[in-house]
Structure 1
């Protein structure tokens, strides 16, 4: 499944990083202990992170 096809609230992991789908467009917010690192990113940005890391996302929780 493509990242933009997941519903809001879905959580995915890419390498060591965890992201949660927001309710705005196809954006994802990184879950990080430092609030400054919790920025919203579009799905295409996460696809670039996947390519750079050489891994695919792993779904942690799907919200329907």
Structure 2
């Protein structure tokens, strides 16, 4: 597993087994968990190029 980008207690973008995954920290203080989302290369490129895209994606995932 190779960490591409991360922010503690927020998210990790990793590359493993020929795929990209976004681990998103979700929940409140009593129940914190991670959601693991597989991303396309296009989504990864958008994340690398546009931090606002990443912020919006994290918010959307947390609301699901």
Q: TM-score normalised to the size of structure 1?
A: 0.38
Normalized per residue, the structure richer in helix is 2
Normalized per residue, the structure richer in strand is 2
Q: TM-score normalised to the size of structure 2?
A: 0.38
User: Which one has the largest radius of gyration?
Assistant: 2
